[in-house]
């Protein structure tokens, strides 16, 4: 089945630095990918919708200048957490769907970000 | 907001069937019922989905009531590896998946 790969699986960074997370669709083209954030013991919260070749659509309350999304190709979307702070520590998960095949959405393995 | 409601937690003995209920009384006619699960510190894993008819695959069975206001996910022989949070989602396919709080299933030896 279709696979979505996320990298890195975990990252520790210093407060004030930026971190980039990659999401790749390995065997299908994804014109749209989704980014979620999950805090401990909570459900996944949609952050933004990433559209290939155009600007991302952010959910209410998500700062677009802090969470930069780039979807430069049909198989890669990146989320950059800029000027990270400890409260940005979370589990970030991407999702993609092969719209041409009308399949279910597939999820990456997730990235555990810890800001110290 | 999620359009589904699920019990927060359930226990199941290993080897027994796990029956996870989900209410979706406001589901639209074009929305499918999707089930995903999330094992600790991993991304969600697709299990099964259906529109009106009952569905079965190698992982589970999905029973949808005739009025489509509720459904039940059945894991026929639960194992310890089935311990996870299970999410029931009403989804039409042209929007992102919206996750509710899910049901935390604990399979007990």
Give the distance from residue B28's alpha carbon to the nearest chain A alpha carbon, in angstroms.
Answer: 18
* Best CA proximity match to A41, nearest among B85, B43, B5: B85
- Name every chain A residue with its beta carbon within 8 A of the beta carbon of B43: 4, 6, 93, 95, 107-110
Per-residue pLDDT 10s for chain A (116 aa) are: 568 999 999 999 999 999 999 999 998 888 889 999 999 999 999 999 988 888 899 999 999 999 999 998 899 999 999 999 999 999 999 999 877 776 788 999 999 999 99
- Nearest chain A residue to B103 by CA distance is A43
Residues linked to residue B85 through DSSP beta bridges, in sequence order: B38, B104
Question: In a 10 Å sphere around its CB, with 0-12 CB exposed, 13-18 middle and 19+ buried, how is residue A14 labelled?
Answer: exposed
| Higher pLDDT among residues A101 and B6, named by residue | B6
Give the DSSP letter of residue A59.
P
| Higher pLDDT among residues A28 and B39, named by residue | B39
> How many Å from the N-terminal Cα to the C-terminal Cα in chain A?
37
Q: In this structure, how many other beta carbons lie within 10 angstroms of the beta carbon of residue A77?
A: 31
* Best CA proximity match to B37, nearest among B79, B66, B94, B68: B79
Cβ–Cβ < 8 Å for B87, B102: yes
- Name every chain A residue with its beta carbon within 8 A of the beta carbon of B41: 91, 110, 112
- Name every chain B residue with its beta carbon within 8 A of the beta carbon of A105: 46, 96-97
Sequence-ordered strand ranges (E) for A1-116? 4-7, 10-13, 19-25, 32-38, 45-51, 57-58, 67-73, 76-81, 90-96, 106-107, 111-115
pLDDT in tens, B63-80: 999 999 999 999 999 999
- Name every chain A residue with its beta carbon within 8 A of the beta carbon of B38: 44
Cβ–Cβ < 8 Å for A58, A67: yes
pLDDT at B66: 95
Give the DSSP letter of residue B5.
B
Please report how many Cα atoms fall inside a 13 Å half-sphere around the Cα of residue A111, on the Cβ side: 27
pLDDT at A1: 59
- Token pair recorded at residue B85: 């949070």
Averaged pLDDT for residues B102-109: 97
Cβ–Cβ < 8 Å for A106, A3: yes
Best of A50, A107, A111 to disrupt the B interface (most B CBs within 10 Å) is A107
Give the distance from residue B45's alpha carbon to the nearest chain A alpha carbon, in angstroms.
Answer: 7
């Amino acid at each position: 089945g279709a696979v979505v790969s996320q990298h890195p699986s975990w990252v520790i960074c210093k407060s004030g630095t930026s971190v980039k997370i990659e999401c790749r669709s390995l065997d299908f083209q994804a014109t749209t990918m989704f980014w979620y954030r999950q805090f401990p013991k909570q459900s996944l919260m949609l952050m933004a919708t990433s559209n290939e070749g155009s600007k991302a659509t952010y959910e209410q309350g998500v700062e677009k200048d802090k969470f930069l999304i780039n979807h430069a190709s049909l198989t890669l979307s990146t989320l950059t957490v800029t000027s990270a702070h400890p409260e940005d520590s979370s589990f970030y998960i991407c999702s993609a769907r092969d719209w041409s095949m009308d399949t279910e959405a597939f999820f990456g393995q997730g990235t555990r970000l810890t800001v110290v | 907001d999620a359009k589904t409601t699920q019990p927060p937690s359930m226990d199941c003995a290993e080897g027994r069937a796990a029956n996870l209920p989900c209410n979706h009384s406001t589901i639209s006619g074009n929305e499918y019922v999707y089930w995903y699960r999330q094992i600790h510190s991993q991304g969600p894993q697709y299990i099964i989905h259906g529109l009106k008819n009952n569905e079965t695959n190698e992982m589970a069975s999905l029973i949808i009531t005739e009025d489509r206001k509720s459904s039940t996910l059945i894991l026929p022989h639960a194992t310890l590896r089935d311990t996870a949070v299970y999410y029931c989602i009403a989804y039409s396919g042209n929007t992102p998946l919206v996750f509710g709080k899910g049901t935390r299933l604990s399979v007990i030896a």
